[in-house]
Amino acid sequence: MIDTSDFKNGISIELENVLYTIIEFQHVKPGKGGAFVRTKLRNVETGAVIDRTFRAGEKFEQAILERKDMQYLYNDGHNYYFMDKDSYEQIPIDHDMIGDSADLLKEGNDIEVTFCKGIVIGVQLPSTIALEVVETIIGAKGNTVSGAMKPATLETGAVIQVPLFIKEGDIIRVTTIDKKYQERV
């Protein structure tokens, strides 16, 4: 059990049998009346953010989270399959849980998967991934005044914007959060 004095950003708590992660909190002591804690909580399952106020000293059940590094194996169109590197157990994870960056996953990538009571509650991709450019158009010389960009198809099928000097066969680093070109490797 934890109480409001133990709150920190990123801690997970169980509230009304729903798992929430504390995004931010503020301890407030008004001149009149008892102290309270104002929080922003993210529902781990749905991603919805709620504002909630608690009395100082109120107690909660802390959720115990387990994080494992897992290796991406393949996908069947809807589920993405990951392997536990210690036990070699394979688990399917829904495309919606991975998000828009799923098309940047390449077989063999290591991903951090978060579990609570044996249930997958989150997937954390690395901040950048190195991928090969398999198709792009040739950039026109002299067309670089404004930092022009062109589309490029990566080995995973994702299409991103890259600078004109990038050509087929180049390996580039892409940020997974916003799917933007970072640098040539």
The domain that holds 143 is classified in CATH as 2.40.50.140
Question: What distance lies between CA 177 and its chain's CA centroid?
Answer: 7
- Tell me how far CA of residue 118 lies from CA of 60, 63, 66, 77, 113, in angstroms: 21, 12, 9, 24, 11
- Both 78 and 107 in one domain: the answer is yes
Segments in the chain forming alpha helices (H)? 95-98
- Residues 53 and 37 sit within 8 Å (Cβ to Cβ): yes
What share of the chain in percent tops pLDDT 90?
Answer: 21
Q: For residues 6-10, give the mean pLDDT.
A: 84
Count structural domains, the chain. 3
pLDDT band at 6; cut points 50, 70, 90: confident
pLDDT greater than 90 at residue 40: yes
pLDDT greater than 70 at residue 45: yes
Top-confidence residue, 45 or 150? 150
Q: For residues 117-138, give the mean pLDDT.
A: 86
Q: Is the overall model pTM greater than 0.85, yes or no? A: no
- Both 97 and 147 in one domain: the answer is no
Poorest-confidence range of 52-56, 112-116, 137-141, 167-171? 137-141
| CATH number for 46 | 2.30.30.30
- Both 40 and 26 in one domain: the answer is yes
Of 13, 41, 62, the last residue of a domain is: 62
- Both 30 and 72 in one domain: the answer is no
173 conformational bin, left if phi > 0, alpha if psi -120 to 50, beta if neither: beta
Of 104, 124, 144, the last residue of a domain is: 124
pLDDT band at 142; cut points 50, 70, 90: low
- Both 161 and 120 in one domain: the answer is no
The domain in which residue 167 lies consists of 129-184
pLDDT greater than 90 at residue 100: no
